[in-house]
Amino acid sequence: MKINSVRIPNINKRKIIESLGKNKRLNNRGLLDYRDMNIELGISKNAEGSARVKIGKTEIIAGVKLSTQEPYPDHEDEGTMSVFMEFSPLCGERYESGPPKIDSIEIARIVDRGIRESGFIDWKALCIKKNEKVWSIMVDIYCINDDGNILDASSMAAIAALQSAYFPRYDEKEEKVKFGEFTKNKLPLTKNIPFQMTFYEIKENLLLDADREEEDISNGRFTITLSQPKNEKIINALQKGGKSAFSSQEINLMIENSEKIYDTYFLKIDNQIKKLIKTKN
């Protein structure tokens, strides 16, 4: 839960805007660069899959738990997924404990949409018995240290955790999940891995991966989730956030840039995750 009593000093605000006028960020990054990223898998043994993602000083952990449930009546042979996101009060002085508020609900829903719409998960393969029982995937995302751009870090952590997850054993006779006993079966995932990136607008500059101060100054943000099933990149989710307006040129520019950013970062991150999974086995 976020409280709004913490504001950034005007002098920092002026400095950031001033240097953006010269096309520069205070931290010397390019406008469309991510900070250094670090991914770790298997951070919690009891989870079916888990990951820690650090982007600069921002730290997010995500865990995947599996259980079974009755399918939804309109998707009688498909598994389900729910994504939860919470700002733990230890992640920054502006957060207090309490049930997730709209800021974390929005993040969870954006991450959920990207994963769902990209076709990353093969829902039909999660069916145990049509009309009766399907697997349900629960993804829990927690912020451990907030230094801006929680959105992209959350998505990255959720996707890494899903990729590292193994099914627990399902006892067919008892029709029960044996929690704590892991099988060697991975989740039915496809190659359509979504990649989410968020642009923050500060005085008509559009910058990627804002840190805490930049995010506090920015009036609006725009989140794009891309995947590339074949040769063409597909937009799977969009979300305009914040209280500002974008022109259609700006939107087009961001979509154009998002393709370049996808090309620069996606393979790097994906290879890192694949390597981590390999070394774990």
Partner 1 sequence: MVYTKRTDGRKMDQLRPIKAEVGIIPNADGSALFAYGDTVAIAGVYGPKHLHPQHLQNPEKCTIRCNYNMLPFSVTERARPGPNRRSKEIALITENALSTVVDLDRFPGTVIDVEIVILQANASTRCAGINAAAMALAHAGIVMKELVSSVSIGKIDDKIVTDITKEEEDHDLGGGATDIPFTICSNSKKIVHLQLDGKIPTKRFNEAIDAAISACEKINQYQIRALKGEKIDENK
Interface residue list for partner 1 (CB under 8 A) = 43-48, 50, 57, 59, 61, 63-65, 67, 84, 86, 88-93, 97, 99, 138, 140, 142, 144-147, 179-180
Nearer CB in complex with partner 1: 91/217? 91
Nearer CB in complex with partner 1: 158/237? 158
Nearer CB in complex with partner 1: 147/201? 147
Secondary structure in 3-state letters for 177-194: EEEEEEEEEECCECCCCC
Query: Smallest distance, Å, CB 148 to partner 1?
Result: 11
Whole-number Å distance between alpha carbons of 75 and 91: 38
H or E stretch including 111?
Answer: helix 102-117
Query: Smallest distance, Å, CB 21 to partner 1?
Result: 29
Nearer CB in complex with partner 1: 50/154? 50
Per the CB < 8 A criterion, the answer to whether 218 and 201 are in contact is yes
Name the burial class of residue 194, with classes exposed (0-12), middle (13-18) and buried (19+) by CB atoms within 10 angstroms of its CB. buried
Name the burial class of residue 5, with classes exposed (0-12), middle (13-18) and buried (19+) by CB atoms within 10 angstroms of its CB. exposed
Residue 168, beta-bridge partner list: 182
Query: Smallest distance, Å, CB 274 to partner 1?
Result: 22
Query: Smallest distance, Å, CB 43 to partner 1?
Result: 7
Nearer CB in complex with partner 1: 78/146? 146
If you search the block for the tokens 């955790």, which residue do you land on? 161
The neighbour count for residue 38, using CB atoms within 10 Å, is 12
Nearer CB in complex with partner 1: 48/215? 48
Query: Smallest distance, Å, CB 231 to partner 1?
Result: 37
Nearer CB in complex with partner 1: 147/152? 147
Nearer CB in complex with partner 1: 6/267? 6
Query: Smallest distance, Å, CB 259 to partner 1?
Result: 33
Whole-number Å distance between alpha carbons of 49 and 253: 36
If you search the block for the tokens 């598994």, which residue do you land on? 79
Query: Smallest distance, Å, CB 97 to partner 1?
Result: 5
What single DSSP character describes residue 2? B
DSSP 211-257: -HHHHHH-SEEEEEEEE-SSSS-EEEEEEEEES----HHHHHHHHHH
Query: Smallest distance, Å, CB 101 to partner 1?
Result: 13
Whole-number Å distance between alpha carbons of 174 and 105: 36
